[in-house]
Structure 1
Amino acid sequence: MKLFLMGAAATGLALAATVAHADQPATTTAAAPAAKPTYGTYGFDTAGMDSSVKPGDDFYEYANGTWLKNTPIPADKSNYGAFTVLDELSQKRTREILDGAKTDPNSKIGVAYATYLDSAAVEAKGLAPIKPWLAEIGAVKDLKAYAALSGKAARAGVRGPFRFYVGQDDKDPETYILSMMQGGLGLPDRDYYLDQGEKMAAIRTAYVAHLEQMLTLLGEPNAKARAAALMAFETEIAKVHWTQVDSRDADKTYNKMSLAALQKAAPGFDFAAYFGAVGLKPTDLLAAQPSAVTGEAALIAKAPIGVLKDSLLLRSVHSYADYLPDNIASADFAFFGTTLSGTPEREERWKRGVTFLKDSLGEEVGKVYVAKYFPPETKAAMDQLVKNVLSAMGRRIDGLPWMSDEAKARAHKKLAAFTPKIGYPDRWRDYSGLTIKSGDLFGNAMRANQFDFDYNIGKLGKPIYRWEWGMTPMEINAYANFGMVEIVFPAAILQPPFFDPNADPAVNYGGIGAVIGHELSHHFDDQGAKYDETGKLNQWWTDQDVANFKALTAKLGAQYDAYEPFPGAHVKGAFTMGENIGDLGGLAVALDAYHASLGGKAAPVIDGMTGDQRFFLGWAQVWRRNYREANLRQRLVTDPHAPSQYRADIVRNFDAWYDAFKPAPGGKIYLDPKDRVKIW
């Protein structure tokens, strides 16, 4: 599955009707849409622009600069933009649903939410709810018992030495298989341990202090020495971990082996006990990073048992911090929320409760959400938009100069196989097996994790769940799933500024049209293109096609490598490649779809803006986002999406953008025609 995590916001200043310089748009005037859109006169927030910036210097700032200057980040957020604005709306709507249910003892979502809100009960219980689990960790005496408890921890939602789940077999997409990945780190990525820069060194120091603080809060002795020992152990694990770039390579991460072969390759860890603790006896599995798994197993074999237990102990408290007393939850947030992401304050309890309900009973809430907030007209309009974008992709495939006729024929087969999912699932999850008890927040959280785990593991040996969704309807997001050959758009993202039924079509095509195109283009990005029309990992191109494609993606990667949000901190073109191809292809397909929608007629000029100008402004608008520095630095290491500014500025590769805004050569984002990248 490929997730598309977007991010940005919107507001409103009218554009002057005259041109200040060649970089500004030409002006004529026509009537705006009859019904008033949410933003501006045609769906774009002109008040948020900064017309003192030349489009050819920074299109993102030109489209969004005033909004960026005037929009503070709320104290409980690490960044703020269009996605956050809609997420806040989704939270408020979900709260209304939950508030209406919380006094009903027969409502599972109501009982779960009311129990979450009862902070006095949580404080009164103290650490008592988690003590039985901590006692199990304390009772571990040897490596076999550690392996078994690590498996049990995975079922409880606690990340241990490895991670595993059941998903489609990439080379046999009609079959479910167990997949496992590297794990064992408390910090977000190996770079946090191995990067010798000043910023990372400061985070490591803070992390060790945090581990010591948590051990102390739990009443554990020798906290300082134990924190240092755990940090030393995790640093050794980081050395064997794969990089983010290698970990996203579908070919490198497809390593099918038997459990016996894995055990032979990694004798230091008892995998039979690990999987057996949760009722699994896999014959075969996929190891995403086999050298990391074997390396970790070797490190585990020689590690002191106390360090291994401390790792489980501290991961458990981190996983359940929000369901424990405030001294634990606040200390956890102080490091993971503030130090790592720069967020000054925790969200209000009701917001955290909404998140808990989305995570634990998401589709049960979603049923009510879509009935109240997702009109059938929106679904119908999206159906048509998706069809238009798919048709445009077909035309673009036909016109590709670098692709062979043989590969084009297969690309059309893949296009014909797509399943778009819009708004909400056709078949809802059944939560009847999940026990929710009034007054038992910790127990509810643990049972929800176990229920989710059992649901996932229960897929083994069954036909593929083609009705399944990976997001709730309340998510402000969208995703592509390679194995399912599907693109998925939850209800909550289908709102302004992404989609507004009263907005000019150009803005909608630049917003949700490009989102549709992005998810579609993921299936043809540097990893998605490795999957054929059945969802199978299988090279369906000629060798020359592959070579031509790699030459184009190398140019795009170099473009992103040059972006430097902070001195010495660059975007990683190889790491963000899939998303960058998605943006490039998605915007190209959406632009073609917009042009086709005009039926051969010229687009009207509205408020001095041509159709293409409004299209590109619609794209830039959805990427408005202010970041806290710590959050943006973390994203450079862990997020496969480029920062919002560079996503908006991908317009620099489009001839139509140059025709629309007439940027002068020599502008900061100006590219000579030979340097503009065109892939799909």
Structure 2
Amino acid sequence: MPTTVARRLNRNLLFLALACSLAACKPSTDTATAPAPTEAAATAPAIGVDLAGIDKSVKPGDDFDAFANGTWRNSATIPDDRSSIGTGYEVQKKAEQRNADLIKGLAASNPAAGSDARKIADYYAAYMDEAGIEARGLQPLQPELAKIDAIASKADLARVLGSGLRADVDPLNATNYHTDNLFGLFVAQGLQDPEHNVATLMQGGVVMPDREYYLSNDKEMMETRAKYLEYVTALLRLANVAEAEGKAKDIVALETKIAKAQSSIVDTQDVHKANNPWAMADFAKKAPGLDWNAYFAAAGLSDEKTIVAWQPLAITRLSALVGSEPLEVWKDYLTFHALSRNADLLPKAYADLRFGFFGTTLQGTPKQKDRWKRALDSTNNALGDAVGKLYVEKYFPASSKAQVEEMVRNILAAFAERVDTLEWMTPQTKAKAKAKAQTMRVSVGYPETWRDYGALEIRADDPLGNRLRAEEHEYKHQIAKLHQSVDRGEWWMTPQTVNAVNLPLQNAMNFPAAILEAPFFDPRADAAANYGSIGAVIGHEISHGFDDTGAEFDAQGRLANWWTPEDAKHFKEATARLAAQYDAYEPLPGLHIKGEQTLGENIADVSGLTIAYLAYKKSLGGKEAPVIDGLTGDQRFFLAYAQGWRSKMRDAALRQRVLTDGHSPGRWRAQTVRNIDAWYDAYGAKPGEQLYLAPADRVKIW
């Protein structure tokens, strides 16, 4: 993932990961997208679901996703500049157009120099200046290239590596474990110290999305590696690097060694393997090879007493590679990374080469997004809160905020009632679960405080410099938190992001304004549709507080075991059955979903849908829901849920999702309904149908 400065993709619903592939997007990867309702649905807000998208030739009990979305999928076309489409994509298009209107309006209003509005307008204008970018060539990147070229010792190498450290990973809020820098930094409260922020170092160093792209013997992966070598070679040649072919082979060989040194996604997800605070002196002892004093000094971290090593074995191995691999190979590696990471703001030939690999090869996308869309993405990454403040002022009414906050209260209340009914859970664990739910901080729409961009220099004639300065500004913001009180209300997404997130360390949730739009949320729609769509989103995020990771954190966000052994045993047995359920799904021939890798999101889907359904029934006040267009309230509820996950995805993007992401693809998330008893009553699924599970085999967690 190219280094971005927007708040990161979080432990989230992942709507835009499909769309990009809900915040800044990796060139490789999460957001699971789902498409919007058809015109017919838009004219029938009372029902809130897309009747025209249903394929009535499919039995709901055989494939509920195909039943709910089959007709839509058969006619839907993925735009040439996309790897997928879905409901999240349609909602994101609305946010995108609104952002475009806002930013173009700013430029026309000639805002005051130094104001946030001026910075937004200038950043966007600079990105759009294609003629200026062509004329400047590689000149804007020369300072970085010169710094690399001047490396004459391993101490110099450590300083350059340290100066490039960025806060571009997030192991707890996000499924964002990737950085092409050798290491990435995450700053948040300590795992067992909710009063103080700590710095966490995570593995990185490869350009392709995950270590599997370098190590797998799968035929498609081997073909991808061959195309990657072609990309590295072509980019070096374009930059007039001597002996490009030989250097490209050395670079890919080094990245392969880095991939072998890395921990797997499943190991990275295990928070108990991550709680490794190292004193600063420990790094030289436990991870020799890298000059850590020089590295941390260049990274501005010399004053820290301890830094957490999230993947300690990987950090040790990566440091050893710094010591063992030739200096010239590292210099070539850094040169290539600098070119590749910044190619979209270099002349068109560089941008086209990058897109050819990351867009077409990795995602199957034939056409690059229009430049104005890329400019919007980059502006939002650099100045997310400044744009977001304007966005909510214009597009997010107080009435929507109040209505969603009421739904959140209802769903939290339903969760507490559900805990009381769990026969398998002991009273002491129930009390702690309810306490955690009751103290959960829920933020809807936008943060209470906004970022200050006063120190960030933005120039209308320096697009690459703008982004590099914005990345550095974000990094300085993050490391400054190390010397401040923990902000319990910190937001990790911008308001204009179509996504939602649970924050286990803060015991909190963020629901940005941009996701609170139809069909996810429509203030005019029937309650069944709203609870089945945005209600399930809310339930999903609440449930993250009690999934395989969230259940490890107490009400204060402290890593603590609050389960009795009996309760923990039941929980692990139930989640193991859910992992096995997803292991059986086969999105592409021979490629199965990884049930363990996606377990946290799958737990949140099952539990969140359960809670949302209970809250929906509670909202009826004991009355029967009306039948609308021949559908009962329960039928509309489950239909809205499945249509929220409708998606259509290119095979290359689907493969990347399955291999690298903690979220299952949307088509299989829609099948979550097979674990909910009420779905069987609503749609009459019977033994012998493909989704049917006997009552004892349905996974019930919360």
Which bracket does the TM-score occupy, shorter chain normalised?
over 0.9
Give CA-to-partner distance per residue, 1:40-80, whole Å, 9 cap, x none: 65110100110100000100010010111111001111110
From 169, 188, 191, the equivalent of 2:209 is 188
Deviation at 1:467, TM superposition (A): 3.2
Matched, 1:176 2:197: yes
From 340, 346, 353, the equivalent of 1:318 is 340
Which residue does 2:451 correspond to in 1? 429
Residue type at the aligned position of 2:154: L
Which residue does 2:12 correspond to in 1? 3
Deviation at 1:307, TM superposition (A): 1.4
> Contact conserved, 1:259 with 1:283, CA < 8 A, in 2?
yes
From 619, 631, 652, the equivalent of 1:609 is 631
Deviation at 1:12, TM superposition (A): 3.9
Percent identity over the alignment is 46
Deviation at 1:156, TM superposition (A): 9.9
Matched, 1:540 2:540: no
Matched, 1:146 2:168: no
Residues 1:39 and 1:455: Cα distance change in structure 2 (over 3 Å): farther
Deviation at 1:356, TM superposition (A): 1.0
Matched, 1:113 2:118: no
> Contact conserved, 2:37 with 2:519, CA < 8 A, in 1?
no
Q: Distance in 1 between matches of 2:332 and 2:189?
A: 34
Give CA-to-partner distance per residue, 1:594-627, whole Å, 9 cap, x none: 0001111111111111111000001011111100
Deviation at 1:561, TM superposition (A): 0.3
Matched, 1:76 2:73: no
Residue type at the aligned position of 1:47: A
Which residue does 1:130 correspond to in 2? 141
Residue 114 of structure 1 aligns to a residue whose secondary structure is helix
Which residue does 1:62 correspond to in 2? 67
> Contact conserved, 2:186 with 2:200, CA < 8 A, in 1?
yes
Deviation at 1:219, TM superposition (A): 0.6
> Contact conserved, 2:166 with 2:184, CA < 8 A, in 1?
no
Residue 129 of structure 1 aligns to a residue whose secondary structure is helix
Residue 177 of structure 1 aligns to a residue whose secondary structure is strand
Residues 1:384 and 1:40: Cα distance change in structure 2 (over 3 Å): closer
Q: Distance in 2 between matches of 1:102 and 1:135?
A: 35
Alignment of 1:343-362 (within 5 A): 343-362=365-384
Which residue does 1:25 correspond to in 2? none
Which residue does 1:678 correspond to in 2? 700
Deviation at 1:400, TM superposition (A): 1.2
Which residue does 1:507 correspond to in 2? 529
Which residue does 2:516 correspond to in 1? 494
Which residue does 1:209 correspond to in 2? 230
> Contact conserved, 2:279 with 2:306, CA < 8 A, in 1?
yes
Deviation at 1:161, TM superposition (A): 1.4
> Contact conserved, 1:402 with 1:549, CA < 8 A, in 2?
no
Q: Distance in 2 between matches of 1:254 and 1:568?
A: 35
Matched, 1:100 2:105: yes
> Contact conserved, 2:167 with 2:478, CA < 8 A, in 1?
no
> Contact conserved, 2:167 with 2:474, CA < 8 A, in 1?
no
Which residue does 1:24 correspond to in 2? none
Q: Distance in 1 between matches of 2:142 and 2:578?
A: 52
From 47, 50, 59, the equivalent of 1:45 is 50
Q: Distance in 2 between matches of 1:605 and 1:155?
A: 54
> Contact conserved, 1:156 with 1:446, CA < 8 A, in 2?
no
> Contact conserved, 1:583 with 1:650, CA < 8 A, in 2?
yes
Matched, 1:391 2:413: yes
Give CA-to-partner distance per residue, 1:107-160, whole Å, 9 cap, x none: 221111112111111111111110121011011111111111011122597842
Residue type at the aligned position of 1:96: D
Residue type at the aligned position of 2:257: E
Residue type at the aligned position of 1:247: T
> Contact conserved, 1:10 with 1:67, CA < 8 A, in 2?
no
Which residue does 1:26 correspond to in 2? none
Q: Distance in 1 between matches of 2:681 and 2:199?
A: 51
> Contact conserved, 2:445 with 2:512, CA < 8 A, in 1?
yes
Residue 433 of structure 2 aligns to a residue whose secondary structure is helix
Deviation above 4 Å: which 4+ runs of structure 1? 36-41, 155-158
Residue type at the aligned position of 1:428: W
From 305, 317, 323, the equivalent of 1:295 is 317
Deviation at 1:8, TM superposition (A): 0.4
Q: Distance in 2 between matches of 1:306 and 1:69?
A: 53
Deviation at 1:556, TM superposition (A): 0.3
* Range with bigger deviation, 312-321 or 286-295: 312-321
Give CA-to-partner distance per residue, 1:622-670, whole Å, 9 cap, x none: 1111001000000001111101111001100111000010112111111
Residue 595 of structure 2 aligns to a residue whose secondary structure is coil
Deviation at 1:468, TM superposition (A): 2.2
> Contact conserved, 1:39 with 1:497, CA < 8 A, in 2?
no
Residues 1:47 and 1:13: Cα distance change in structure 2 (over 3 Å): farther
Q: Distance in 2 between matches of 1:530 and 1:58?
A: 34
Task: Compute the TM-score of the two structures, normalised by the length of structure 2.
Answer: 0.92
> Contact conserved, 1:10 with 1:48, CA < 8 A, in 2?
no
Residue type at the aligned position of 1:662: G
* Range with bigger deviation, 573-582 or 115-124: 115-124
Matched, 1:335 2:357: yes
Deviation at 1:423, TM superposition (A): 0.4
From 230, 248, 262, the equivalent of 1:241 is 262
Which residue does 1:198 correspond to in 2? 219
Give CA-to-partner distance per residue, 1:172-216, whole Å, 9 cap, x none: 122111100111112111111111010000000011111111111
Residue 196 of structure 2 aligns to a residue whose secondary structure is strand
> Contact conserved, 1:12 with 1:40, CA < 8 A, in 2?
no
> Contact conserved, 1:153 with 1:159, CA < 8 A, in 2?
no
Task: Compute the TM-score of the two structures, normalised by the length of structure 1.
Answer: 0.95
Residues 1:437 and 1:12: Cα distance change in structure 2 (over 3 Å): closer
Matched, 1:268 2:289: yes
Residue type at the aligned position of 2:335: L
> Contact conserved, 2:505 with 2:556, CA < 8 A, in 1?
yes
Which residue does 1:660 correspond to in 2? 682
Q: Distance in 2 between matches of 1:425 and 1:539?
A: 30
Residue type at the aligned position of 1:116: Y
Deviation at 1:316, TM superposition (A): 1.5
Q: How many residues align?
A: 659
Which residue does 2:24 correspond to in 1? none
Which residue does 2:18 correspond to in 1? none
Q: Distance in 2 between matches of 1:308 and 1:401?
A: 58
Give the alignment's Cα RMSD to 1 decimal: 1.4
Matched, 1:442 2:464: yes
* Range with bigger deviation, 372-381 or 101-110: 101-110
Residue 450 of structure 2 aligns to a residue whose secondary structure is coil
> Contact conserved, 2:104 with 2:121, CA < 8 A, in 1?
yes
Q: Distance in 1 between matches of 2:103 and 2:44?
A: 29
Q: Distance in 2 between matches of 1:11 and 1:541?
A: 42
Q: Distance in 2 between matches of 1:169 and 1:291?
A: 20
Which residue does 1:550 correspond to in 2? 572
Q: Distance in 2 between matches of 1:156 and 1:389?
A: 34
Matched, 1:225 2:234: no
Which residue does 1:87 correspond to in 2? 92
From 361, 386, 394, the equivalent of 1:364 is 386
> Contact conserved, 1:363 with 1:428, CA < 8 A, in 2?
yes
Residue 489 of structure 1 aligns to a residue whose secondary structure is strand
Residue type at the aligned position of 1:121: G
Residue type at the aligned position of 1:233: L
Deviation at 1:466, TM superposition (A): 2.5
Residues 1:640 and 1:387: Cα distance change in structure 2 (over 3 Å): same
